[in-house]
Structure 1
Amino acid sequence: MYKQNKCLPFLILEDGQYKFVGFSEFPKRNDEVCEIIDNSYQIILPIESILDENYFVNSDGVIEYCKPFCSKCGSHNVIKKDFNWKTLCLEIGVFIRVKVKRYLCRNCNKKSQTEFSKFYKEYSNFCNEIKEKIKTTRQNSWISLRNAKEIIKEWSGINISHETIRKALLVEGEFYFFNEEVKLSGYYGYDEQWEKVNGNWVYYLVIFDLIENVPVASMLTEKLSKNIIKDFIDRSIPFKNRIAIVTDLKMEYDDIMKELHFVHQHCTFHLEKNIKNNMEKQINKDMANYRVKLKNIHPKYSDEDLDEIIKTKKEEVKSEIWNYIREFMELFKQPTFNKAIKYINFLKKEIIHYPKHLAKYLKKNFFPEYRKYLRFLEKDYKNKLEPTNNKLENYNGNTMPKYEKRNYRTMRGLWSALMHKKDGWIKRRNQDLTN
């Protein structure tokens, strides 16, 4: 059994004897690699990140596998050859050169060498811990490669190229994420965001678990259709875990959720937002007509006079309508479903006193399907289903704020950023739960 050596260049050999090796000279810069020579002064460097029970250092100072194998085909039928020099940057920011054993496979006849795949990716000189620090810089906010380089230099005292940082940040694979760690509750929020990548619109779809308060799945796509949305939700949530889902007010969602056997809750926040946006348009149209009427009645009024009159009039009209909207939104603060139904009957009687535009909107868009906004008060879903999609909106706002949306030139770059921000959000959420 070979003893495990935890330091370089202090070596424990097969026979248990010690051999001291050192550097011919100290490196002057971080990118200068020192040469290991025998029988010089002793310098001990911890290399826990490359030596564990799978490796040992032989009498020539060469790192070998304890159980040699071919990295190409996995066979253990290999022949030991000479060695290669490999430059490694340890997690403490120190560069070293080590000897690694070469092997020839008798099965596939291909050559390989000792690799530290658990700690270093193939063809990489920087350990995974340093690359994790690079990813951490992107988990809280968008940061340029140049600034990331400066931060890593400040943290570890080493210079890393822009290309190394870019590669470390890339998230490979398809543009789809599923949270394997979440235990699905059956209650979800669904939303999609539009992003611009190199001048073209792309779509970011997210499913959020309302009980567990974590993202369930997300996807980035260049096209958006009813079938794409349906397939994404169907793929992400098994049939047995489907109870209810909250979305905004897009018409196609009703059919999708019905086909997928979800109880569908319409977001009350989006309802209020839609009402106010619609009222704003109607008020502006009325004010434009009122301005023309005033100009005809009082041709001597200047534009400044008309602007002041219209401004005052608009504030009065808007204040009145907004008061009625607040009264209407009290519906969703009712403690029980039965009381909400009573409030609906009250509103139907009071609607004759409402401003005409608001009354028209509610009669056409709300009263025919009010049950879709009150699912969260029904007995089977109360205290589980949310009246709004605010949890998911908050998650999206934190992981991709508006000011960051146009910083990406490729789908891969955007996806990588979204995944790092997602990891950072989940990490902070878990820390909050622990505290």
Structure 2
Amino acid sequence: MLLKKILIGEHYVLEEGFPIRVKIKRYFCHDCGKKSQAEFTGFFDKFCNLSNDFKNKIINARENSWVSLRNIKRLIKDWFGIKVSHETIRKVLLVEGEFYYFNDELKLSGYYGYDEQWERVNGNWVYYLVLFDLVNNVPVASMLTEILNENVIENFIDMSIPFKDRVAIVTDLKPEYDKIMSKLGFVHQHCTFHLEKNIKSNMEKKINKKMTNYRFELKNTHPQYSDDNLDEIIKKKKEEVKKEIWEYIAEFMELFKQSTFDEAVEYIEFLKDEIKYYSEHLAKYLKKNFFPEYRKFLRFLEDDYKRHLEPTNNKLENFNGNTMPKYEKRSYRTMQGLWSALMHKKDGWIKRRNEDLTN
């Protein structure tokens, strides 16, 4: 519904797609000298010419997509034949208050995921911090901040999760997280997906460096080879080297498919013996970055946490991927604009999740 003033005391009301002219009565009090008029309580907010129902339609559009304000304006024009200003839509979508959200309807499970996202606002980086309940599969809290350091992360988690509700938490592999989670009293599970991602990224760099050196050697020993010949040789060689290393990585990742902690420990002993067959760089990486602290990656298999803790942060990654998708082009001039968009997307995600649970 759209209420638009056209003459003093008269308005257009769009009801179910049809424009209707109505008169709004105005009153004058002879005793106090004040003027007043009839209100549409429950249908229109004061001093607003958009009905609550129509505003909800605008909010729903943002909940389901990163559609821009100008595109929402075009959609309204196409669907309803109504011209609504860019600024009016911006005000409808504005979420007031501090840049902190807490899900006060949630009974905390004790098991969480934590992650950070980065976004540019007016050319500067801002940081979006999220806590996610792994058992209830729903966000616990989120915050938008211009500063990111250990104190900010610690304070955010500390004020969002009471000490009595802290059991275990999953994060990626940033070194500072160990200190923070230990101080806050969490059992800290390192994400195995990020472990695999880091291993492959590290190996990719080593392989590329090796291929660069190999190309240089070939050029010196076989000056008759053209650049195209060298490209073809290097491509084939790289595929062979990468295939072998990726097979060993796959064998290593089988560790996290073991059924019990004891079985995982046995598999680690197997890997320690098998590692002599691995490529030099992969063996060196695992000896330095995994074996000395392997238990941090296997907390999810320990009996005390096995039913609820997960090896990865995939649930939170999925939430962030749907509420802040990297493939969507977007630009924000203010933190409040970004925060409003994030909150609407969060609300839309929760609605869809609840619908899936009830269907």
User: Shared fold (TM-score greater than 0.5)?
Assistant: yes
What letter is aligned with 2:143?
M
Deviation at 1:407, TM superposition (A): 2.4
2:296 maps to which of 372, 380, 399: 372
CA distance in 1 between counterparts of 2:15 and 2:31 reads: 32
Which whole-Å CA distance do the structure 2 matches of 1:110 and 1:433 have between them? Answer: 53
2:24 to 78, 82, 98: 98
1:289-308 equivalent positions in 2, closer than 5 A: 289-308=213-232
The answer to whether 1:238 aligns with 2:153 is no
For the pair 1:133 / 2:57, whether they are aligned, the reply is yes
**Cα-to-partner distance string for 1:286-322 (whole Å, 9 max, x where unaligned):** 1111111112211222211111111111111100000
- Deviations along 1:65-101, one digit per CA (max 9) or x if unpaired, are xxxxxxxxxxxxxxxxxxxx48574664646441255
Residue 252 of structure 1 aligns with an amino acid whose one-letter code is E
TM-score normalised according to structure 2 size: 0.92
Deviation at 1:181, TM superposition (A): 1.5
1:116 CA displacement: 4.7
Q: Distance in 2 between matches of 1:159 and 1:191?
A: 40
Could you say which residue in structure 2 is the equivalent of 1:64? Answer: none
1:179 to 87, 103, 121: 103
Q: Which amino acid aligns with 1:322?
A: W
Alignment deviations for residues 382-427 of structure 1 (CA, whole Å, 9 cap, x no partner): 1200100001111111111113354222211111111111111111
Amino acid of the structure 1 residue aligned with 2:191: C
In structure 2, give the amino acid aligned to 1:180. Answer: D
Equivalent residue for 1:249, pick from 173, 178, 196: 173
Determine whether 1:201 maps to 2:100: no
DSSP 3-state at the match of 2:303? coil
Shift of 1:372: 0.5
**Secondary structure at the residue paired with 1:402?**
coil
**Shift in Å at residue 197 of structure 1?**
1.6
Helix, strand or coil at the partner of 2:43: coil
Report if the CA contact (8 A) 1:246-1:266 is conserved: yes
Which structure 1 segments of 5+ residues have no match?
1-28, 36-84
The answer as to 2:238 corresponding to 1:314 is yes
User: How does 1:407-422 map onto structure 2 within 5 Å?
Assistant: 407-422=331-346
Note closer, same or farther for the CA distance 1:102–1:255 as it changes in structure 2 (3 Å cut). Answer: farther
Matching of residue 427 in structure 1 with residue 354 in structure 2:
no
Whether the 8 Å contact between 1:328 and 1:347 is mirrored in structure 2 is yes
Separation (CA, whole Å) in 1 of partners of 2:166 and 2:87:
44
What CA distance in whole angstroms lies between the structure 2 residues aligned with 1:102 and 1:342? 87
| 8 Å contact from structure 1 (residues 139, 425) kept in 2 | yes
* Divergent runs of 4+, >3 A: 29-35, 85-97, 100-106, 109-119, 153-158
1: CA distance, partners of 2:271 / 2:132:
33
Q: 2:199 aligns with which of 253, 257, 275?
A: 275
Structure with more relative contact order (C-alpha pairs < 8 Å, separation 6 or more): 2
1:375 is aligned with what amino acid?
A: R
Match among 175, 179, 189 for residue 113 of structure 2: 189
What is the CA deviation profile of residues 335-391 of structure 1, one whole-angstrom value per residue up to 9, with x for unaligned ones?
111100000111111111111000000000000110000000000111200100001
SS of the residue corresponding to residue 384 of structure 1 reads: coil
1:273: Cα distance to partner? 0.1
CA distance in 2, matches of 1:432, 1:87: 41
SS at match of 1:308: helix
- How many residue pairs were aligned? 356
CA RMSD after TM alignment: 2.4
User: Which residue of 352, 372, 380 maps to 2:276?
Assistant: 352
Distance verdict in 2 for CA 1:355–1:315, change over 3 Å: same
Greater mean deviation of Cα atoms: 366-375 or 120-129: 120-129
For 1:204 and 1:88, how far apart are their aligned partners in 2? 42
Q: Which moved more, 1:221-230 or 1:324-333?
A: 221-230
Label 1:257 to 1:123 Cα distance change in 2 as closer, same or farther (>3 A): same
Q: Which AA in structure 2 matches 1:426?
A: I
Within-5 A mapping of 1:12-161: 31=4, 33=6, 85=9, 87=11, 89=13, 92=16, 94=19, 96-101=22-27, 115-116=39-40, 118-161=42-85
Q: CA deviation at 1:30?
A: 8.2
Q: Where does residue 248 of structure 2 map in the other structure?
A: 324
Q: 1:239 and 1:230, CA in 2 relative to 1: closer, same or farther beyond 3 A?
A: same
Q: Between Structure 1 and Structure 2, whose CA radius of gyration is higher?
A: 1
C-alpha contact 1:33 1:97 (8 A) present in aligned 2: no
Q: Is the 8 A contact 1:197 1:406 kept in 2?
A: no
Aligned to 2:24, the other structure's residue is in SS state strand
Unaligned runs of 5+ in 2: none
Q: Which amino acid aligns with 2:309?
A: L
Match of 1:389 among 313, 316, 329: 313
Q: Percent identity?
A: 70
SS of aligned partner of 2:259: coil
Classify the secondary structure of the residue corresponding to 1:404: coil
